[in-house]
Amino acid sequence: MRKIHFFGLILAITFMVSACKSSHVADVPKANIREVVNSSEVTLIDVRIPEQYAAGTAKNAINIPLAEVQNNIETLKGKKVVVFCNKGIQADQAMDILKKNGVEAYDGTSWKNVKAIQEETDKK
C-alpha cells in the first residue's frame, strides 16, 4: 500500500512541475530574437549591476539593475524590451517581473549574445 501512495505522490508532483513549466512557456512571446534585438522600436535593458554594465554591454543598452526593475515598470509599460545579463539567470528573473506587470519583454539571455546579434547584423 505504501508503494502505491508513494507512486501517487511522485505522479502528482511531476504533474504540478510540468504544468508550471508549460504555463510559463505560453507567456513568452513567439518571435525571432534577432529580429527583436535589431528592431528600432526595442529598448535593450542590461539588468546587471552598474559596474558590470560599465565594463561592457550591447550597443544602445540602458542599465536597469535587476533590483530596480520593479521600480521602473511604469516607464517600461507600452515598450518592447529585451532584457539580458551575464548568463541569463537575472534576465529570467527580470522577465518574470516584467511579464507579471504587462510589459512586452523578450529574453536576450546574455549581453554577449545580444552584442553578437548586433555585430552579425552590422556585417551584412
Q: Answer whether 62's CB lies under 8 Å from 38's CB.
A: no
Across 50-75, average pLDDT: 97
Q: Are strands 42-46 and 80-85 parallel, antiparallel or unpaired?
A: parallel
The overall longest dimension of the chain from CA atoms, in Å, is 66
Q: Give the pLDDT of residue 30.
A: 55
Name the more confident of 75 and 2. Answer: 75
- What single-letter DSSP state applies at residue 105? E
Model pLDDT for residues 15-44, shown as the tens digit of each residue: 554 443 333 433 444 578 999 999 999 999
Average pLDDT value for the chain: 84
Kind plus residue range of the DSSP H or E element containing 87: none
Pick one of 3.40.250.10, 3.40.50.620, 3.30.70.980, 3.20.20.70 as the CATH number of 31-123. Answer: 3.40.250.10
Helix (DSSP H) and strand (DSSP E) numbers for the chain: 7, 4
